């Protein structure tokens, strides 16, 4: 409760969360979901455009191929964005990187908005790549920026807001994509171009808010600006204790340059951190949550939901994830990161198993489709409890200032690559495994829960320096002391 009183006291911190989130992970969730509503309209547009150019229609399999490209170019762009995020964060800073990132959003919105008038489905493809790049950058930099700006007792809750904005973006995309709004055959270009609105909101609001204090002090060596940023973010002039902690962290980074991604894998002092990052970032995308959304429509129809009402039930699935993201944001500083991760993956394993049984028996019992529908909501709720938000905090808390941008690059590349592969391979899994398609995903959930229970340290309520010292002792159990920290110095290198 005291932590949330500090959040209210530091109104600038709350505004910073909103400004970073609306143009950050909100965009990721929004553009992930709005593409579903105009599926048939864009396929018809693609076929009509080809017919107008060549005089004959596209075969159905080529229409499906072009549609698959439009969808899959988004995670492919995200992969490139994740590679850009590290250099952006170091050279431009956290806040300026988020602002510059909106160049991709503006360009994509223009391409989407004029694609139909220009008669070019290629403009939609290019727009999807650009929005993917934007999402890849913001998904890495937003939690880094917020995690570095928050006080230690609120760091987890503040970083979890990235998951809240992702879920909010998904829900808003589902709502705006309804047929009554922008999901109709004449309005789909406006639906795709509506990504411009969150980008403009961020461009207007974020310049008025402070940069990450850690970046200002440790990377730039600007003590005066760091102090001013801390005072604004905390809503008080007395930040002596926190500034002293930052000075200690600055001293720990003396004479070191920013790490390159491949260097993380060579450093024995980062062995446990890198392993945890790789395992849990991969598990987040391989746990089956995105695939549940794929199954949702057919299961709802089997349960007797009328075809014209399915779109409204789909909105309910997004609301489930949003609800649990809020709950996790409140609970994370009470129960810790490990409990949320272990609990989330265990519940996903439970409900995924019941869902598999329900799929196998749905033709045998009339009530089985309703059980399957309930399992979808329960699975999504379980995902939102822990994996959806806690995974994004790992790179912030497990790595120090010099390794953090590279860690986010590794995490981002893994997550976007897995998302791309799942999107590409899931139709073949469905065809080969039928009702047992979720068994591989359930195995991932079990492995992630076991790994978290045995190997992931708890970071709740600790400073970044305390976490670094704990991890050093875990990586080198024969040494009772952490690394010897030297006096403070300005970190001038911005090379990745």
Mean pLDDT in order along the chain per 10 residues (496 residues): 52 90 90 82 86 82 80 86 87 92 94 89 91 91 87 81 88 86 84 92 93 86 87 81 81 73 83 89 84 65 70 81 83 84 92 87 80 85 84 82 83 85 73 81 92 87 79 75 42 37
d(CA 112, CA 123): 7
d(CA 453, CA 469): 20
For the chain, give me the number of helices (H) and strands (E)?
Answer: 25, 0
CB 84 within 8 Å of CB 133 = yes
150: left (phi over 0), alpha (psi -120 to 50) or beta: beta
Q: Give the pLDDT of residue 385.
A: 82
CA torsion sign for 245, 251, 252, 254 is positive
What is the pTM assigned to this prediction? 0.81
d(CA 103, CA 32): 19
* DSSP state string for 333-361: HHH-HHHHHHHHHHHHHHHHHHHHHHHHH
d(CA 397, CA 389): 13
CB 193 within 8 Å of CB 52 = no
Q: Give the pLDDT of residue 302.
A: 61
Q: Is 95 helix (H, G, I), strand (E, B) or coil?
A: helix
- Name the nearest CA neighbour of 31 among 380, 316, 419, 430: 419
Q: Give the pLDDT of residue 491.
A: 39
Q: Give the pLDDT of residue 345.
A: 93
Q: Give the pLDDT of residue 11.
A: 85
Residues 6+ apart with CB under 8 A from 118: none
- Rounded (10°) CA dihedral 78, 147, 456, 391: -30
CB 112 within 8 Å of CB 127 = yes
Q: Give the pLDDT of residue 303.
A: 61
Which helix (H) or strand (E) segment holds residue 189: the answer is helix 188-193
Q: Give the pLDDT of residue 489.
A: 38
Q: Give the pLDDT of residue 96.
A: 93
Q: Give the pLDDT of residue 445.
A: 93
């Amino acid at each position: 409760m005291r932590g949330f009183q500090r959040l209210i006291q530091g109104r600038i911190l709350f505004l910073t969360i909103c400004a970073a989130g609306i143009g950050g992970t909100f965009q990721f969730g929004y553009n992930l979901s709005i593409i579903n509503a105009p599926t048939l309209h864009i396929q018809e547009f693609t076929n009509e455009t080809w017919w107008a150019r060549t005089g004959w229609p596209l075969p159905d399999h080529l229409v499906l191929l072009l549609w698959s490209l439009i969808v899959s170019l988004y995670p492919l762009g995200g992969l490139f964005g994740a590679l850009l995020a590290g250099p952006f964060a170091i050279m431009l800073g956290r806040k300026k990187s988020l602002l510059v990132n909106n160049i991709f959003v503006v360009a994509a919105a223009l391409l989407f908005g004029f694609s139909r008038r220009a008669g070019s489905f290629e403009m939609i493809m290019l727009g999807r790549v650009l929005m993917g790049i934007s999402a890849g950058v913001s998904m890495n930099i937003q939690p880094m920026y917020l995690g570095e700006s928050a006080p230690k007792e609120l760091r987890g809750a503040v970083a979890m807001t990235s998951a809240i904005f992702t879920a909010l973006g998904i829900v808003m995309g589902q709502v705006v994509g309804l047929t009554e709004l922008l999901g109709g055959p004449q309005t789909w270009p406006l639906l795709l171009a509506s990504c411009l609105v969150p980008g403009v909101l961020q461009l207007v609001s974020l310049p008025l808010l402070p940069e990450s204090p850690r970046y200002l002090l440790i990377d730039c060596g600007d003590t005066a600006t760091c102090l001013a940023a801390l005072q604004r973010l905390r809503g008080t002039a007395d930040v002596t204790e926190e500034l002293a902690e930052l000075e200690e962290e600055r001293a720990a980074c003396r004479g070191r340059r920013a790490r390159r991604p491949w260097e993380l894998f060579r450093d024995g002092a980062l062995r446990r951190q890198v392993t945890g990052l790789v395992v849990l970032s991969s598990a987040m995308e391989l746990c089956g949550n995105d695939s549940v959304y794929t199954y949702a429509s057919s299961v709802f129809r089997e349960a007797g939901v009328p075809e014209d009402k399915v779109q409204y039930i789909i909105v309910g699935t997004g609301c489930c994830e949003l609800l649990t993201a809020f709950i996790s944001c409140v609970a994370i500083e009470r129960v810790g990161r490990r409990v949320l991760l272990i609990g989330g993956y265990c519940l996903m394993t439970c409900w995924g198993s019941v869902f598999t049984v329900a799929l196998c028996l749905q033709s045998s019992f009339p009530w089985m489709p309703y059980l399957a529908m309930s399992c979808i909501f329960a699975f999504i709720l379980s995902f939102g409890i822990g994996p959806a938000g806690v995974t994004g905090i790992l790179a912030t808390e497990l790595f120090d200032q010099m390794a953090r941008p590279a860690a986010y690059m590794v995490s981002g590349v893994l997550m976007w690559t897995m998302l791309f592969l799942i999107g590409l391979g899931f139709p073949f899994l469905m065809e080969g495994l039928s009702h047992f398609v979720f068994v591989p995903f359930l195995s991932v959930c079990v492995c992630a829960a076991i790994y978290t229970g045995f190997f992931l340290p708890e970071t709740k309520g600790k400073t970044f320096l305390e976490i670094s010292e704990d991890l050093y002792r875990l990586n080198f159990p024969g040494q009772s002391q952490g690394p010897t920290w030297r006096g403070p110095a300005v970190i001038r290198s911005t090379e990745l």
